[in-house]
Amino acid sequence: MQSKEARMEEKESEISRLAEVGLMTPSIIHDIRGYLAVIKAYAQLGLKDFDHERMLSRFGKIVQTVNSIEELIEIFRSFYIKGEVVKREVKISEITEEALSVNSPRLGAVTLVKDIEDFSLQANKILLRQAIANLISNALDAVENSQEKIIGIKTRKKTNEGFIWIFDSGDGIPPEIEEKIFSPFFTTKEKGTGLGLHIAKKVIDAHGGEIKICKDFQENFPKINSKNSNIIKTAFEIKLPLRR
């Protein structure tokens, strides 16, 4: 039989999870709307162009996006409601490509820099993809009004740790708000939910990793074709254990 203290702790844990569910709901709705926009775009293209090969490709994209919605619902059920993180061996190259695919409708307007060194790790593929997709979306938002619109992603394996950097040529993060950016509902965007970075941190924490603003741009970033040597203004560094 559980002690009174144990029952109280269990109750508090349940209340905390339910509060987190309420916290995440606006972000889940926002993500589903994004996926539906992708489906709508490919469906509209299909109505205008009946080329067989292109139609097959678009139907494939629609099915892939519907699968992403189903996976997002599963994330909500398992991670946000039950607090479960089921891990298996995954390749970081697959996760980064899928995270970029989630943001594909917006990538055509930017210069994308990719420097991917593949490595395997124990992770929940869906959750980690969502975290990286959120950071890519954040980078896309940051460069929206920039003259040079550059975003990038780089991965490296160092001993028993894997590193992921997501960077952009936006306006940068003012020092006075650096400590707040991972807080829920904190946003500097007019239409932002303030949950993208919070969810990313929650997912990385659940994998025993760390996420931070990266300062050493010159050391970690690939060469970028720009006349401005200091074009990169913001970068996030994710560090994940490869053996867990």
> How confident is the model over 149-171, as pLDDT tens digits?
999 999 999 989 999 999 998 88
pLDDT at 147 over 80: yes
pLDDT of residue 37: 78
pLDDT of residue 15: 46
218: confidence class by pLDDT, cuts 50, 70, 90:
low
183: confidence class by pLDDT, cuts 50, 70, 90:
confident
Mean pLDDT of 8-31: 57
Task: Output 232 or 160, whichever has higher pLDDT.
Answer: 160
Name the segment(s) of the chain with CATH classification 3.30.565.10: 88-241
CATH code of domain 88-241: 3.30.565.10
Name the segment(s) of the chain with CATH classification 1.10.287: 4-81
pLDDT of residue 240: 96
- HEC assignment per residue over the chain: CCCHHHHHHHHHHHHHHHHHHHHHHHHHHHHHHHHHHHHHHHHHHHHHCCCHHHHHHHHHHHHHHHHHHHHHHHHHHHHHHCCCCCCEEEEHHHHHHHHHHHCHHHHCCCEEEEEECCCEEEECHHHHHHHHHHHHHHHHHHCCCCCCCEEEEEEEEECCEEEEEEEECCCCCCHHHHHHCCCCCCCCCCCCCCCHHHHHHHHHHHCCCEEEECCCHHHHCCCCCCCCCCCCCEEEEEEEECCC
Mean pLDDT of 67-89: 71
Least confident of 13-17, 30-34, 100-104, 178-182: 13-17
Task: Output 175 or 217, whichever has higher pLDDT.
Answer: 175
Domain 4-81 falls in which CATH fold? Helix Hairpins (1.10.287)
pLDDT of residue 149: 92
pLDDT at 4 over 70: no
Mean pLDDT of 141-153: 91
